[in-house]
Structure 1
Amino acid sequence: MKKALLFCALTMMTMNVQAFSQETHKRIVIDAINYMAQNPTTTQYSRLQQYAEKNNLTVNALADLLGQAAYDVDDFEDTFFCGAITGDCVQAPVWGAAKSIVKYTSYWHFQNHTQGADAHGNDFGGYNYEKLTVWGNIDSLAATWLKGDYLDDGAGGETGWFRADDTQYNTYGVTEANYRIDSHSSYAMYDDFEEMPFQPIDNLGQYWYQSYLQSGQPQLLGFVFHTTDLLQPHHTWTTSALNHSSWESWVKDYYDQEDLNNMQLVHNAMADFTAVPITSQDIRPLLTQGGAYSYAQGGIVLNSQDHYDRLTTAKQVIPHAIAMVVHLLNHAMVAR
């Protein structure tokens, strides 16, 4: 009965925890490469051209490929939660059938700047309902709906009642392990959704960056650029609610109309990042700088839907998201 009532409530809502829309993620990457093309003497644009040629692509085609990969991260089928009683494992809630609802994989896309170090030993943790300092109806309703549900850990692991086990994917042994970089975990951390300390998005970015350095594959590099979620204030203040969905839609709708990708603003934003040293392969300090910026500048969009408030914030965070990708591309072109 309780879940039936929650279903009715949740289906009346628009839930979206993917921060910038997928289209915006793609545009940010394309605009970063446009910036490099316009500033070849201060960026690694010539090496980017060589990289494109090596992969039998034009620069424009490479930009589209990298942008599409950043877009695709929200569609990963790598995170399943299982019913505490039924043992049934799914990658999205039943009330997530609407187009705007993303999958459970999006819970890896946060870096909580309202808290310090997490249970894993990361300097900033990811989404953890138990540790939220700002939250809304979607956060609380999801935690109630998923209360006691556990992260899929493959065959022979956690089960529902009477050893019911409909495992679909070893999320703990694969996804969580991939994002566990320089930290530690135990499965006990993931056996109740409402207490799960998800790994932060900078670890996601680092995993895919290391994969790119090993293989040189453009798609893997593109996955890294989904970390522009760090420039979306909801993902550094950390909440699935508080105007999350309407803000995302606003940014997509006004991206061109309000010139959010103004290249002079991107130029100014470049100086707000400390470039990753060429001798280092750890991009997380740069990513955390992006998260600190959105946390410091963008909190108003959690509480205001005023066009001017949103425009002021967007004129800050979108150019900084583009600049962050430029810095990442500069490093990626010389790191291999």
Structure 2
Amino acid sequence: MKKILALCSLALMGSNAYAFSQETHKRIVIDAVNYMAQNPTTTQYNKLKQYANANNLTINALANLLGQAAYDVDDFEDTFFCGAITGDCVQAPLWGAAQSIVKYTSYWHFQNHTQGADSHGNDFGGYNYEKLTVWGNVDSLAATWLKGDYLDDGAGGETGWFRADDTQYNTYGVTEANYRVDSHSNYSMYDDFEEMPFQPIDNLGQYWYQSFLQSGQPQLLGFVFHTTDLLQPHHTWTTSALNHSSWESWVKDYYDQEDLNNLQLVRSAMATFTPIAKNSQDIRPLLTQGGAFSYAQGGIVLNSQDHYDRLTTAKQVIPHAIAMVVHLLNHAMVSR
């Protein structure tokens, strides 16, 4: 538990909000709680209220806390790449603020549905530049910028030339190990960026869900909800480019104006998910259902900036993202 709390503190060190999509993550979680409040007989809303009371929170305060935690995952300071020559380790590229790569932690936020099982033994892998089937300028820029760079594995591990070693954080020994749920790794997988098979986002969600079940802390449950990235088509087609940033910006800008969180659409989306069995603690099958949906329905937004194309996709993926969080909340309330 000390390790979990230390990572939580580390996660909150970065307080600057860089990405509009963080706000969308927060809104999705708050809307999921609102849906439960309006549908108490078909959801675990009453248990959610009891959980809020047990944590000395109103239901609105709990929704905000969970949403903020989902937002905060993009600010984790837990992933550093180190220069192949210099050994200097950094958590973001110099040019990232103007693109969709603000921190390298975002590479854990993909589930590649264009490929099958990965080298770790996961049914779907995460981001792996070598295995991409769609890519664009940001992907190529990152692979060029980071060519030969390695994942920080702490003091005494991989180094630059002449044993240069400016390690900042044992990313391989902590972050990758945490997200290695039910899979296997060796460090040689992470000594060249352009070949790195990052763990998929469903493993991230599973790690934090297990942490929540052990501790009962709402912040840890909120971290799980960043997995709504699985309803963002770029995260299942797997690319940092191809209108990635402009699509996410469009969703934020039109979230209210186009009623993307319409609760009638959420109600319909609820039925498309298979609920997690009460006696199971593995949420990954549900998460993968969400990823499969965005992969099947949302590919057009990688190649079109047309408002109607984006609206058609958003009216599907946002209600499904909200519904996925409702299912996760339902399971969490009967499993803790």
TM-score by length of structure 1 reads 0.94
Q: Which residue does the alignment assign to 1:309? A: 309
User: Is it true that 1:138 corresponds to 2:123 in the alignment?
Assistant: no
One-letter identity of the residue aligned with 2:160: G
> d(CA) in 2 for partners of 1:178 and 1:20?
27
Say if 1:99 and 1:234 are closer, same or farther in 2 by CA, change over 3 A.
Answer: closer
How is 1:40-55 mapped onto 2 (pairs within 5 angstroms)? 40-55=40-55
Q: Which residue does the alignment assign to 1:171? A: 171
> d(CA) in 2 for partners of 1:147 and 1:99?
18
Q: Which residue does the alignment assign to 1:184? A: 184
How is 1:48-67 mapped onto 2 (pairs within 5 angstroms)? 48-67=48-67
Is the 1:33–1:63 contact (alpha carbons within 8 Å) kept by the matching residues of 2?
Answer: yes
The Cα of 1:95 is off from its aligned counterpart by 1.5
Is the 1:74–1:106 contact (alpha carbons within 8 Å) kept by the matching residues of 2?
Answer: yes
The Cα of 1:94 is off from its aligned counterpart by 1.5
The Cα of 1:97 is off from its aligned counterpart by 4.4
Q: Which residue does the alignment assign to 2:322? A: 322
Q: Which residue does the alignment assign to 1:203? A: 203
The Cα of 1:187 is off from its aligned counterpart by 0.1
Is the 2:100–2:241 contact (alpha carbons within 8 Å) kept by the matching residues of 1?
Answer: no
> d(CA) in 1 for partners of 2:66 and 2:179?
21
Q: Which residue does the alignment assign to 2:161? A: 161
> d(CA) in 2 for partners of 1:154 and 1:234?
31
The alignment covers a number of residue pairs equal to 319
> d(CA) in 1 for partners of 2:275 and 2:20?
24
The Cα of 1:96 is off from its aligned counterpart by 2.3
How is 1:269-308 mapped onto 2 (pairs within 5 angstroms)? 269-308=269-308
Q: What are the Cα deviations for residues 229-254 of structure 1, in whole angstroms up to 9, with x where unaligned?
A: 00000000000000000000000000
One-letter identity of the residue aligned with 1:203: N
The Cα of 1:102 is off from its aligned counterpart by 1.7
> d(CA) in 1 for partners of 2:99 and 2:22?
12
Q: What are the Cα deviations for residues 66-120 of structure 1, in whole angstroms up to 9, with x where unaligned?
A: 0000000000000000000000000001122459652000000000000000000
TM-score by length of structure 2 reads 0.94
User: Does the residue aligned with 2:228 lie in a helix, a strand or coil?
Assistant: helix
Q: What are the Cα deviations for residues 162-220 of structure 1, in whole angstroms up to 9, with x where unaligned?
A: 00000000000000000000000000000000000000000000000000000000000
Say if 1:99 and 1:304 are closer, same or farther in 2 by CA, change over 3 A.
Answer: closer
> d(CA) in 2 for partners of 1:96 and 1:318?
26
User: Is it true that 1:268 corresponds to 2:264 in the alignment?
Assistant: no
User: Does the residue aligned with 1:310 lie in a helix, a strand or coil?
Assistant: helix
Is the 2:99–2:138 contact (alpha carbons within 8 Å) kept by the matching residues of 1?
Answer: no
Is the 1:19–1:244 contact (alpha carbons within 8 Å) kept by the matching residues of 2?
Answer: no
Is the 1:243–1:302 contact (alpha carbons within 8 Å) kept by the matching residues of 2?
Answer: yes
> d(CA) in 2 for partners of 1:71 and 1:321?
14
Q: Which residue does the alignment assign to 1:13? A: none
One-letter identity of the residue aligned with 2:298: G
Q: Which residue does the alignment assign to 2:239? A: 239
Is the 1:20–1:229 contact (alpha carbons within 8 Å) kept by the matching residues of 2?
Answer: no
The Cα of 1:255 is off from its aligned counterpart by 0.1
> d(CA) in 2 for partners of 1:99 and 1:54?
41
Q: What are the Cα deviations for residues 315-335 of structure 1, in whole angstroms up to 9, with x where unaligned?
A: 000000000000000000000
Q: Which residue does the alignment assign to 2:259? A: 259
Is the 1:230–1:290 contact (alpha carbons within 8 Å) kept by the matching residues of 2?
Answer: yes
> d(CA) in 2 for partners of 1:330 and 1:98?
38
Gaps of 5+ in 2: 1-17
Say if 1:306 and 1:97 are closer, same or farther in 2 by CA, change over 3 A.
Answer: closer
Q: What are the Cα deviations for residues 268-301 of structure 1, in whole angstroms up to 9, with x where unaligned?
A: 0000000000010000000000000000000000
User: Does the residue aligned with 2:182 lie in a helix, a strand or coil?
Assistant: coil
One-letter identity of the residue aligned with 2:332: A
Is the 1:19–1:235 contact (alpha carbons within 8 Å) kept by the matching residues of 2?
Answer: no
> d(CA) in 2 for partners of 1:245 and 1:103?
14
> d(CA) in 1 for partners of 2:98 and 2:322?
29
Q: Which residue does the alignment assign to 1:218? A: 218
Gaps of 5+ in 1: 1-17
